[in-house]
Amino acid sequence: DQQVKQNSPSLSVQEGRISILNCDYTNSMFDYFLWYKKYPAEGPTFLISISSIKDKNEDGRFTVFLNKSAKHLSLHIVPSQPGDSAVYFCAATITSGTYKYIFGTGTRLKVLA
Amino acid sequence: NAGVTQTPKFRVLKTGQSMTLLCAQDMNHEYMYWYRQDPGMGLRLIHYSVGEGTTAKGEVPDGYNVSRLKKQNFLLGLESAAPSQTSVYFCASSHRQGGRYTFGSGTRLTVV
């Protein structure tokens, strides 16, 4: 039972355009969400997060949107750069009572120069 | 500041052999985790620890054991390796409940 789903295994975007990565979840108890970025042969690194009390969080070129009624979050990268090419994982947790994140299956983003 | 260090980085095992993967963190984090990454499956939690001397099962614990004898170290053991355990293993740590993870660079394990 996949509680966090990333239905697009891959995405290609032209440099300078917007990249939109999507993530759906099934557990309405999740209250904190993160995006991690992973380059080949490296561990995932934290990118951006959002609490369920917000619907948007922005950090430079990266913005995460949360739609709680749809149980959906998305990561927008504007403008996309070739260095953004990586695998992106979304993750979710319940901040009280559990100690672990549930990760999605990942989306491989390729930004074309 | 090294963060989270995993050893070894690569290993090939024969079916039935045993081995231990070591994770060390120097950030004084309370919580530590072992995940495996497989194609199309994302990152799945094997075992985790909420403090020195504690361990708990995650989503896919079968075939693995763990120990957290020291706060900075979290060991993952395979007693009798199977080809299904071929994977990339990641260790992570966090300083608080629900806190963001710091990951190690991974161990690529192949069981033949």
Percentage, residues of chain A above pLDDT 70: 96
Tokens of A50: 């959002």
Statement: residue A95 has pLDDT above 90: no
Give the HSE-up count for residue B92: Cα atoms under 13 Å, Cβ half-sphere. 29
Tens-digit pLDDT profile for residues B59-104? 999 999 999 999 999 999 999 999 999 999 999 999 887 788 999 9
**Nearest residue to B101 (alpha-carbon basis) of B7, B23, B32, B21:** B32
B95 membership: H or E segment, kind and range: none
CB neighbour class for B45 (10 Å; exposed up to 12, middle 13-18, buried from 19): buried
Tokens of A32: 């904190």
Question: How many angstroms separate the Cα of A99 from the Cα of each of A81, B76, B87?
Answer: 34, 18, 23
Give the HSE-up count for residue B84: Cα atoms under 13 Å, Cβ half-sphere. 6
Give the DSSP letter of residue B71.
Answer: T
Tokens of A1: 């039972």
Tens-digit pLDDT profile for residues A66-93? 999 999 999 999 999 999 999 999 999 9
Tokens of A23: 């993530």
Mutation target to probe the A interface, by most A beta carbons within 10 A, among B25, B31, B37 is B37
Nearest to A100 among B4, B33, B105 (CB): B33
Question: How many angstroms separate the Cα of B86 from the Cα of each of A29, A34, A52, B42?
Answer: 33, 27, 36, 14
Tens-digit pLDDT profile for residues B94-107? 988 778 899 999 99
Nearest to B101 among A4, A9, A101 (CB): A101
Contact B103 A104 (CB under 8 A): no
Nearest to B31 among A43, A99, A103 (CB): A99
Chain A CA closest to residue B6: A43
B50 contacts on A by Cβ (under 8 Å): 99
Statement: residue A56 has pLDDT above 80: yes
| SS3 assignment, position A105 | coil
Give the DSSP letter of residue B99.
Answer: P
